[in-house]
Structure 1
Amino acid sequence: MLVAAAVCPAPPLLVPDVAAGAAAELEALRGHCRRALDAVAEARPDRLVVVGGGTADVTRYPQGTPGSFRGFGVPLTVRLPGGDDGAAGTLPTPLAVAAWLLADARWSATPVTALGVPDDLPAERCLALGEELAAGPTRTALLLAGGGSNCRTLKAPGYLDERGEPFDESVARALAAADHRALAAVDRELASAVGADGAAPWQVLAGAARRTAQPSGTAPAPLAGRLLHHEAPYGVGYLVATWG
């Protein structure tokens, strides 16, 4: 069952070594990500699964899988916590950023694995993956790595698209309310148009929450949502939230 979740953006700029001169400017965002992960740890899950995009197929990564920021000119390697240095494979960038966030938060509460999902994975498949993760009695927590629109200003990576801000606002409301139905209904075509790379991970969360909320003799209390951060520096929507 799903007992907690943290939603964090996953731009490489979150990593100070990559951000260089922008490191201080983004410290508030990093702080909110730490708070989100602290809240997840307080739920005492048995395992944490990181979910992020950037893969060609649905891909599972074991503990200890490395990720690198050499592509950004930084000789920095990170790993999913809890494994040895012999894990095969390489984390895509969103999951590598998530691994850095876990190291920054000094995560030691549980074993950590990761699930890579293609950015264009259909909603129903995302929801099914979430239900699979939340099946059974294991106390499962999720870290969803992905952000909102990238087109909030003329200088944004995706230029200016007036649909970006209302899209981000609608997602922020769903995250604040722990509304899995609203996340499940996110318009994926619009999400792609405004450059929101968090849409697929958010819908994995929706599926996990939906599975946990299904009536049963041992159904837990509904998850409560809390929106910790909703800003758009550089014209990109960064949202941080917790469910638990």
Structure 2
Amino acid sequence: MLVAAAVCPSAPLLVPEVAAGAAFELDALRAACADAVGVLAASRPDRLVVIGPAEQPDRGRHHEGARGSFREFGVDLDVRLGTPPATPSEDAGADRALPSSLAVAAWLLRGWAAAPLEGLGVGEPLEQDRCAATGAMIASTADRVALLVMGDGSACRTLKAPGYLDERAAPFDASVAAALAAADTEALAALDAELAEALQAAGRAPWQVLAGAAQGAGLAGQLLYEDAPYGVGYFVATWT
């Protein structure tokens, strides 16, 4: 059963070494993310699942101890998703590198020792019903499951945004923020996948997995951060 969830951006700029000279601009965002991870630890989960957007071939499960890197962003920094198990997994692909969203999560979770964890990379095209089914399955895997859900809002909030300015971006992000603040699973599940793709909102599928996992759990939401630095919608929220 899902007992807690945290939502954080998947932007590599969260990592100060990646942001370099502009790192201070996201200090408030990093502080909110740290608070959200603290809420997860306080929930005393039996299991933590980290969910984030991923491209092929990085979709699917990533085991505890999987390695990630920020070298593609010009930074000589490696991370691990939790602690490597004493007995390495024999599953195919167990040694795959983490997608960037889960590498950011691994950076946020450095020092995590509250519960065993694993990652799940989900693709942007994943249909809403499959997102819901995936979330429900994850929530059923332990008595006390927690989720760390990585993903960004629209990338079209300003003229200098990665996706340029789109007048639909601000209303879309406002609807996401309201759903996260209210722990509104129905509103998240109803997000328009085609619109999200057009607005380059990489969090749509992970958020809808969260909606599936939280269905019937009776969690309350709190929005800790909402802004669009660099023209991209970033949210931090907790559900408990």
On whether the aligned pair clears a TM of 0.5, the verdict is yes
Aligned pairs for 1:24-173 (under 5 A) are 24-56=24-56, 58-84=59-85, 88-103=95-110, 106-135=111-140, 137-173=142-178
Which residue of 2 is the match for residue 238 of structure 1?
234
Equivalent pair of 2:152/2:201 in contact (CA under 8 Å) = yes
> What is the rounded CA distance, in whole Å, between the counterparts of 1:21 and 1:137 in structure 2?
42
TM value normalised by structure 1 = 0.92
1:159-208 CA-to-partner distances (Å, cap 9, x unmatched) read 00011110000000000000101111011111111110000000000000
1:65 shift after superposition = 0.2
| Percent identical | 61
Q: Measured at CA, do residues 102 and 136 of structure 1 come closer, stay the same or move farther in structure 2, by a change above 3 Å?
A: closer
Q: Which runs of 5+ in 2 are unaligned?
A: 89-93
Query: Is the alpha carbon distance of 1:195 and 1:40 closer, same or farther for their aligned partners in structure 2, counting shifts above 3 Å?
Result: same
- Per the alignment, do residues 100 and 136 of structure 1 end up closer, same or farther by CA in structure 2, a change over 3 Å counting? closer
C-alpha displacement of 1:138:
2.2
- Out of 185, 202, 206, the position equivalent to 2:207 is 202
- Misfit runs of 4+, over 6 Å: none
Q: Which deviates the most, 234-243 or 132-141? A: 132-141
In structure 1, the residue matched to 2:91 is: none
Partner of 1:177: 182
Q: Following the alignment from structure 2 to structure 1, what is the Cα–Cα distance between the partners of residues 180 and 121?
A: 21
Query: Once the 2 structures are TM-superposed, how far is the Cα of residue 55 of structure 1 from its aligned partner?
Result: 2.8
Partner SS for 1:189: helix
Whether the aligned pair in 2 keeps the contact of 1:56 and 1:117 (CA below 8 Å) is no
**2:223 alignment partner AA:** L
CA contact (8 A) 2:160 2:231 kept: yes
Give the TM-score normalised by structure 2: 0.94
* 1:5 partnered with 2:5: yes
Q: Matched residue pairs, number?
A: 233
Residue 82 (structure 1) shift: 2.4
**SS of residue matched to 1:24:** helix
Q: Please tell me whether the aligned partners of residues 175 and 241 of structure 1 are also in contact (alpha carbons under 8 angstroms).
A: yes
AA of the residue aligned to 1:113: E
SS in 1 for 2:24: coil
The 2-side partners of 1:137 and 1:77 are apart by 30
Q: Is the 8 A contact 2:46 2:142 kept in 1?
A: no
The aligned amino acid for 1:129 is: T
Amino acid at match of 2:102: L
CA distance in structure 2 between the partners assigned to 1:176 and 1:10 by the alignment:
18
CA distance in 2, matches of 1:17, 1:84: 28
Match in the other structure for 2:18:
18
| 1:136 positional shift | 5.0
